[in-house]
């Protein structure tokens, strides 16, 4: 199994997880991300991406496994990030009529 690197961050305005593409754009789909196999090249691209402070925050390199189906996250944290926010309601909060907020007073 081969390992590659992708550059990931969060979109500044929406907070969505994004990945750098080969064209220098940003995508919300890991399948469209540019995969680096050379660490020095990836670190250079990361330095450039990190300067895009009007677009993204928290850019870093993430390991991916290179499979026949494309790049897949090598770490469970990155798997969670590909699924998007986990802020849907759980348990009794998901029931109709549940209070959307907790009183602080």
Beta partners for residue 67, in sequence order: 70
pLDDT in tens, 36-62: 999 999 999 999 999 999 999 999 999
Which residues make Cβ contacts (< 8 Å) with residue 76, sequence separation at least 6?
none
DSSP one-letter code for 94? G
Cα distance between residue 68 and residue 27, in whole Å: 21
User: Whole-prediction pTM value?
Assistant: 0.77
pLDDT in tens, 9-39: 999 998 899 999 999 999 999 999 999 999 9
Residue 26 DSSP code: E
Closest CA to 26 of 48, 44, 41, 4: 48
Coil, strand or helix at 2: strand
């Amino acid at each position: 199994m081969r390992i590659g690197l992708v550059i990931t961050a969060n979109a500044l305005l929406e907070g969505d997880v994004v990945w750098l593409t080969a064209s220098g754009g940003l995508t919300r789909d890991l399948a469209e991300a540019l995969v680096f196999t050379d660490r020095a090249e990836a670190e250079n691209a990361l330095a450039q991406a990190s300067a895009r402070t009007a677009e993204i925050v928290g850019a870093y390199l993430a390991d991916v496994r290179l499979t026949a189906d494309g790049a897949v996250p090598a770490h469970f944290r990155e798997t969670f990030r590909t699924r998007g926010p986990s802020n849907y309601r759980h348990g009794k909060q998901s029931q109709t009529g549940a209070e959307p907020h907790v009183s602080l007073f």
